[in-house]
Structure 1
Amino acid sequence: MTLSQRDLADVGVLIGCGLRPKLRPGADSDYRQLLGRYRTDTEFRNAVDGVLEGLDVQVLSESDLGLVLGVRRESVFAYRISDLPNVGTVNDRLLVGLVSVAIAAFAFPARAEFDDDRVRWVSVEEVERFLREVCERLNSSPDIAGRQEESFEEAWRSYDRLSPGYKADRGRGKARRSAASSVYWVAHVLTWMVDQGLARPAPARGAETFQLLERFRIQAGELAGNATYAVLAAIRRGDEGMEGAS
């Protein structure tokens, strides 16, 4: 059977839904119907996958929470750290990248855990404390630090120089965290993850605590071969000597 013009329009609609991370099939009947068709209609599925391939995008998951899409670096839809608000310098981008990988390593300290769909929570305090541990470990293990990429060393040393506690901006008006404090960057990344449908606030579990969603677990799984993830995950596991982190 040849797909009609209407069918091709539906391909576009489904891809558009997948590119909206907060949209859920349960809340959108068109999305729910097209997701069901993607699962059962081979021709329709091939058409969707073919268009995504041309856009350098692939389907990582097709659960009841919707399509989880992964984009290649060259894709027009590729996320770039510079897209975050208030990230204007190279140092800012290094900090955001480090915090993002640290959240993945803290919640999923072994590659096999990316296949475990149990719910995970993280808090700003936990991630900040973990990154402080990372900095202490790397400061005391120059052999490990020296084997990593220069950008990783710049990132963790920049984090290490930040104030570990709350530091308010000066000036009139309500006090707020300053970019000179490490907790600012951890909270900044986790708040952005909420906007991207990767996490949701979980105040019942404590102050500044977040539930990591399936979309984050699946996308973070792409980091499993990343050298920075390997180092941070080894520290999280407490591996002596951090074997395999090189």
Structure 2
Amino acid sequence: MTLSQRDLADVGVLIGCGLRPKLRPGADSEYRALLGRYRTDPEFRNAVDGVLDGLDAQVLSESDLGLVLGARRESVFAFRISDLPNVTRVSDRLLIGLVSVAVAAFAFPAPADFDDDRVHWVSVEEIERFLREVCERLKQSPDLVMREEESFEEAWRTYDRLSPGYKADKGKGKARRSPASSPYWVASVLTWMVDQGLARPAPTRGPEAFQLLERFRIQARELAGNATYAVLASMRREEGAA
């Protein structure tokens, strides 16, 4: 069977749905139908996978929550830290990268955790405290990081220099955290994750608490081979055993 022009249009619609992280098949009948076809029609599935491969992307998961797509670094769909608002300096990008990996290592410190679908929660306070402990460990034992990981060393040293407490911006109006404080960067990453359908606020768990969603667990799995993740996850495992 040869796919028709309409079928090829449906391939594009399904990929478009997968690129909208907050869209769920349960709330969109067309998305739900196309996801069902992707699961049951090999020719349609091959067409979707082929188009994604040409775009340097792939399907990471096809659960009832929808398609979770992953993009290779060269892809036009690859996330770039510079895409975040108010991230202009190299040090900003290093901080965002460090915090993002820290959230994954904190919630999923062992490979088996990526296969565990239990609900995970994190808070700004927990991630800030974890990263402060990481910085202290690395200051005491800098050999824990390989010499070639210069960007990681620069990232944690930049984080360590930030104010760990509340530091408000100067000027009129309501006081708010300044980029000179580390909680600002942790809160920025977690808030961005909400916008990307990776987390949701969990106010009943406490101030600035968030529930990590399935989409984050699936995408965080891609970090398992990352050297920075390996170091942070190892420290998190040791922390849990203490």
**How far has the Cα of 1:147 moved from its partner?**
3.7
CA deviation after TM superposition for structure 1 residue 111, in Å = 1.3
2:145–2:231 contact (8 Å) kept in structure 1? no
Name structure 2 gaps, 5 residues minimum. none
1:169-184 → structure 2 map (5 Å cutoff): 169-184=169-184
Contact 1:201–1:211, Cα closer than 8 Å, also in 2: yes
The residue matched to 2:118 in structure 1 has which SS?
A: coil
| Secondary structure of the structure 2 residue equivalent to 1:60 | strand
Cα distance, 1:228 vs. partner? 0.2
2:69 corresponds in structure 1 to: 69
Distance 1:178 1:74, change over 3 A: same
Q: Is the 8 A contact 1:121 1:210 kept in 2?
A: yes
> 1:242: which partner in 2?
none
Distance between the aligned counterparts of 1:181 and 1:198, measured in 2?
24
Q: In percent, how many aligned pairs have the same letter?
A: 85
Alignment partner, residue 231 of structure 1:
231
Q: Is the 8 A contact 1:148 1:227 kept in 2?
A: no
Q: Which runs of 4+ in 1 moved over 6 A?
A: none
Q: Give 1:51's aligned residue.
A: 51
Counting matched residue pairs gives 239
1:188-218 CA-partner distances (Å, limit 9, x unpaired): 0000000000000000111100000011000
Q: Aligned-pair distance for 1:142?
A: 2.0
Name 1:89's counterpart in structure 2: 89
Residue of structure 1 equivalent to 2:217 = 217
Alpha-carbon distance, 1:148 to partner:
5.2
- Residue 7 of structure 1 is matched in structure 2 by 7
TM-score (structure 2 length as normaliser): 0.97
User: Once the 2 structures are TM-superposed, how far is the Cα of residue 112 of structure 1 from its aligned partner?
Assistant: 1.4
SS of aligned partner of 2:96: helix
Letter in 2 for 1:98: L
Contact 1:121 1:211 in 2 (8 A): yes
Report the CA distance between 1:145 and its aligned residue. 3.4
Partner of 1:192: 192
Q: CA RMSD in A?
A: 0.9
| Matched position secondary structure for 1:69 | strand
Alignment of 1:25-36 (within 5 A): 25-36=25-36
SS at match of 1:219: helix
Q: For 1:238, what is the secondary structure of its paired residue?
A: helix
Q: Which residue of 1 aligns with 2:160?
A: 160
Q: CA deviation at 1:174?
A: 1.0
